[in-house]
Each structure stands twice: as structure tokens, then as C-alpha cells.
A and B are shown apart, each in its own frame.
Chain A
Amino acid sequence: MINSFLLIGVLAVPLIAAGASGLVRRDETRYAIVIPSALVTVALAGTLIARVVSGGPVSALGGWLYMDDLNAVVLLVVMFVSALAGAYSIAYFRSPAQGHVLRRGELRKYFALFHLFTLTMVLVSVSGNLALLWTAVTATTFASAPLVDFYGSREPLEAAWKFLILAVAGELVALLGFLLLYAAGIAALGRSYSFSIPVVSGAAAHLSPSLAGLGFLLVLVGFGTKAGLAPMHTWLPDAHSQAPAPVCAMLSGAELNCAMLAIVRVLSLATPSQGGKGGDLHAALLGFGLLSMAVGVLFLISQRNYKRLLAYSSVEQMGLIAAGFGIGAPLTVLGALLQMVTHSLAKTLMFFNAGNLLLRFRSTTIADVGAVARAAPATAALLILGALAIAGAPPFGLFVSEFAIVSGALRHSDWAVGSLIAGLLLIGFIGLVVPFSRMTFGDGRPSEPQPRENLGVAVLAPGYVLLAAVLVLGFWIPGPLHSLVVGASRVVNR
């Protein structure tokens, strides 16, 4: 009863917020909706996750909604990122630098879509039926593509169109994968069975191996497009650089993880039937992961635009997560799950930083930005510490999760794979830290005179919250989070 209330409530709150944002007349009211709805969502989702950690999986509506530890990890990420992105949106659009960019009625569209986008991602993380899972992942595309086009000029439109076409094409390939996965179960479960996760999971060892394996590979390629895995990643740097900063944070920090969740879920369902050949599926995931890391790092070191730099860092990081799952050893899976959490926090922080820089310098070119440390110390501290965090420097949380993946790879997989991952991470580290320290401490050559006004507390506060969270995770992983991640790794590696 309580579980049903929580699972439905966590969907109802963003839905109500979206409706209200679309209906009310004044922008101030729209702003006022954001924080309460985020707080209620966090409270409901937090309670739900706590119940899953202590009492195991919960479900509602006859199994359509379902939450186990794996779903809970993604809900945790979605809830944090969207709550903070909501808070940052308010500060961002209220700041004078944005005021003259906005047209009438733009904020109505923005906040209605923002809450809908949150809703679709929450739906991904509470899906108990694989058909609903596919539908929800697809729905995230439709909610987010118009947000990419928010600024309404040619480049954002191009980015949104490319995103929409490639993502939908990928989703269709994934749909074929899901159809084959269903067909894989017909022999064991009968012609007409429920496509719910517990049912398929219960019969996972008896699925038709070749159909299940083929189904997984199609889901990997299809949703891999949405998760930003190379070579299907080409839409990502465009979409993640053209959207408004808070939306970029949602796209990179939360949406990519939703697609990754679906891939990992299908992997966990398809592997048990493979017998001795389960390694082939993992190897495919590892291959895409390593390629994504290489491509991400390669484009990272040659970037002149700091938002695209962050987007390529997302390609690299999703590659690392895929590689962690692909190696499939307990330690690397644990690391990959933790990396989903830490990367989301740090990437959200960095896109807030990008927003701060854009508000100040009105340019996304790295060379235009400089001397932030002298002009605005509070902004600069957040910028450089965030850059160190996303690059994986100790003592931040990403160092712990990346260390787990690399050491797990060295111990349980090929030494070559482990050292390749470590090497790519090192190049990525340099590629991220050098430009951001140049922006923070270097001179730069602003194309237009810099505004002197300081960014307000409201703009900086969400970033500092994230910085604190990433820092704490570097020293100490709270007990509930630890058991959540361990529980999720058991779901992945049965």
C-alpha cells in the first residue's frame, strides 16, 4: 500500500508540476512551483530507495511499476540532478544576462517541458515491464529534444533535429531487440506471457540463447546511441552543447544513465541463458566502452569550445561505465554503478559552471574566457575544483569509482584492458584540467567587455551542494548507498 503510494506519487508530482507550469499565467508562479515539487519528489524517492535498501524490491500497479536496487541507483541520480537543475534554472533565467535573451512565453514552455523530462526519466527508473522501459526511454527523447532547441536559433535547431532523428532511429533498433527478447521467452513461458522484469528474470536461464543474445546486441546498439556510446555518439556533442546549461546538466547527468540502465538491465536478463558464451555479450559492451573512451578523449584534447569539451567528456565517461559493466567482474560492476552516481554529480556541477561562464563571458569559446580567479573567486573556486573532480583527481568521488574499475580490470581481465583504461583516463585528465585551469587563471581575451557584477548566491549554491557531495563520496560512502550499490551489482551479475 505504502509502496504503491510512493511509486505512483514519485510520478504524479512532476506530472502535476508540468501541468501547473503550463497553465499558470505568471512566470513568478512557475518559479515558485519548482522548489516544492523538487522537494516532494526527493522526499518520496528517498523514502522509496530507503525501503528498497532495507526490504528488497517493491512493486505497484500489478507489476508495471517496480523498483529493485538497480532501478533505485538511477532514480537516486535522476532525483538529485533534476532537483538541483530546477533550482539552478530559476537562478539562471532570473540573472540579468539571460533576461534579454528570453522571449515572451518561453519560460512556460521551458518549465512545462522540464518537469515532463523529469517525469519521463523517473518513469524509466520505476519501470517494471520491459515494454514500459522501452517506452519511457523513448519518451525522454521527445521531452528533451524541444528543450535542446530552447534558444530558438539555427544551431540549437540543427542539434535538436540531429538528436531527434538519431535517437529515434536508435530506439527503433532497440525495439527490435526487445521484440526478439520477448520471442526468446516464448519457448519457456508460453506464447502469451507478461513481459515484466521479475517474470523474465525468473526464466532468464531458460530463454532461447541465440534470440536473447541477438536481442541484447540490438538493444546495445540502439540504446547505445542514446547513451552516447561511440560510434553512434555524433549527436551528443551538438545537443549537449546547444541546450541551456541546466538542460545540458539533465541530458549529460541523468538521461545518459537512463539509457545505460536499460542496456544493463537487458544484459542481466540475456546473460544467464548463454551458458559458457555469456562472455561474448560482455565483450561487445566492453568493446563499445573502450571505443567510446578513445573517441571521447581524442576529441576532448582538441576542443576549443568548453561546452563541447564537457560533452566529449560525457562520451568518455559513459564509455568507462560501459567498460566497467562489460568486464563484468564484481569490482568493476561496483565501480561502474558508483561511477554512474559520481559522474552525474560532477557533470551536473560542470554544466552549471559552464552556465556561470556563459552568463559572465557570453561566449562558449575557451580562448574568450580568462582570469576568472581574479574577477570572481567564488565562481573560480567552483570551476577549478569541479574540473578536478570530473577529471578524476583525488580526493573526489570519481577517483574512488575509477580506481575500482581500473584495479578490477587489472585483476580480473586482461592487463592490457586495464592499462588501456588507465592510460585513456590519464589523457582525459590532462585534456580536462589544462583548459579549465587556463580559463580560471590565464589571461584570456574577452571578445567584449566583461560585466563587473558578481553572480548571485542563488546561481552558485546548487554547484556548491554538488561539490560537497562529490567531495564527501571521495572519503566516505554512506552505509545505505553502499548496500544499494552492492545490491544493484548483484542484480547485474547474477
Chain B
Amino acid sequence: MLPEVILAALILLVSFQFIVTRRLGAAVFAYALQSWLLGGVAIALFADSGLIELLLFGLLIIIVKGVIIPQFLGYRTKSVLAGRRETSYYVRFPTALLLGAGLTLVGFLVATRIPFAPQLLPESVLGIAMAVFLLGLFTTTARRDAILQVVGLFAAENGLLLVGLVVAPSLSLLIEFAIVLDILIAVLVVGFLVARMHQEVASTDTSELTRLRG
């Protein structure tokens, strides 16, 4: 059980990369790393329990979220942004870090309030998972760049998949497949809209898009 907990803790650590990094490429890499770690948790759980769906789930996560989606986002980042590195915040950097730490605390507090029957993973991993979820959503709201907003949502989903591994480890493969399929569609649509954004406002800074009011 220890390897899973260590991997989960690393997932949380990587989540802070979304908050501190100033480069889009680093954020996309962090997302890929996070997905590999999540796949690792599932595969380690398979080794412990012998549930075959966990192995398939882990491999699916690594292939789709660890390789295909980051490749796609990285390609988008390069082709659309052509060397633009700096990304901006809606909140100032130290404030963002402080809020991130606060959210982690909230995640752990929330997890203690969820009255679930422990399955394969200990309760502490649920706290980590909730914190990863909240940090992902925070990245989406605090960042101005479209690609980072999307990476935040994908990271939040990684947190939820970890929640799933904690509270319902044997949720059938088809469900996970559906989730992953959805993400694939999301990437297609997001890729399209990000390209359109570049075409309209010559950047992916969403703070340029503030015309609709009332």
C-alpha cells in the first residue's frame, strides 16, 4: 500500500507546478507526469489486488492522458504560440501560491468528512485526490491563458480519477473508457477553439475576450 501513497503524494506535488510555472510547456509536461503517476497508482493497485480492470485503467491513462493529450497540447502550444513563454495570472503570484496551499488543506478537510468505507487505498489518498481536484479547478480560474485553463481542467479530472480509485476501485472498465473518450473529444474541440482564439486575438490570453456584458 505504501508505493501507492507515495505516488499519490507525488501527484499532489506535481499539481503545484501548474501554479508556480511561467512556461506553458512546463505545465503541459507536468500534466503528462501527473498522468503517468496516476497510471502508476492504478497499476500498483493491480499488483496488490489482482483486479484486471485496474491494469487496463492504468495503461489507458498512461497512453491517453500521459502521451496522446500532452503531445497534442504541446503541438498546439508550439504551433500557436511560437515561442511565447510568459503566462499571466488574474491573482498575484505569492497570493496564488498561498491560495493553493489553503486549497490543499481544504481538500484534506473535505476528505475527512466523506463517510466512505475504505476499499483498497487509505483515507489519506482521498485527501490528496480532493486537493488535486481543487488545485486543478483553481488553475483554471486563476490563469488567463486558454491552454493553461484547459490543463487545469484535465488536472482536476486526474484528481477525480484518483477519487474514483479510492472510493470505488472496481468501477467497470467501460466507465473509465467513456471518461477517456470524452477527454479525447474535449481535446479536439479545445484544439479547434484555441486555434480560433489565436486567429481572433492573436494570442490565447482569455483576458482579451471581455466584450459580452449584461
A interface with B by C-beta (< 8 Å): 131-132, 134-135, 138-139, 142, 145-146, 149, 152-155, 157-162, 164-165, 168-169, 172, 175-176, 179-180, 182-183, 186-187, 191-192, 194-195, 208, 210-211, 214, 237-238, 242, 299, 302-305, 308
Contact = CB atoms under 8 A, between A and B. Distances in A.
A305 B213 CA distance: 11
B212 A208 contact: no
Interface residues of B, number: 46
Interface string B197-210: 10011000010011
B210 to A, nearest CB: 7
23 contacts: A131-B178, A132-B178, A142-B188, A145-B189, A146-B189, A152-B196, A154-B200, A157-B196, A157-B200, A158-B210, A161-B209, A162-B209, A164-B190, A168-B186, A169-B137, A175-B160, A176-B133, A182-B171, A183-B117, A186-B168, A211-B114, A211-B116, A302-B214
B170 to A, nearest CB: 4
A444 B123 CA distance: 65
A8 B9 CA distance: 44
Contacts of B196: 149, 152, 157
Contact of A157 (B137, B160, B186, B197): B197
Contacts of A176: 133, 160, 163
B170 A168 contact: no
A164 B185 CA distance: 12
Interface stretch (B36-44, B72-80, B91-99, B149-157): B149-157
B114 to A, nearest CB: 7
Contact of A194 (B156, B172, B186): B172
B81 interface: no
Given A158-B212, A172-B157, A211-B116, A179 B163 contact: yes
B171 A155 contact: no
Contact of B193 (A164, A183, A302): A164
Contacts of A187: 117
Contacts of B160: 172, 175-176, 179
A142 B114 contact: no
B212 A192 contact: no
Interface string B138-150: 0010000010011
B82 interface: no
Contact of A242 (B164, B212, B214): B212
Given A161-B193, A176-B160, A211-B116, A195 B137 contact: no
Nearest to A64: B174
B192 A146 contact: yes
B182 A159 contact: no
Nearest to A302: B214
B47 interface: no
Contacts of A135: 178-179, 181-182
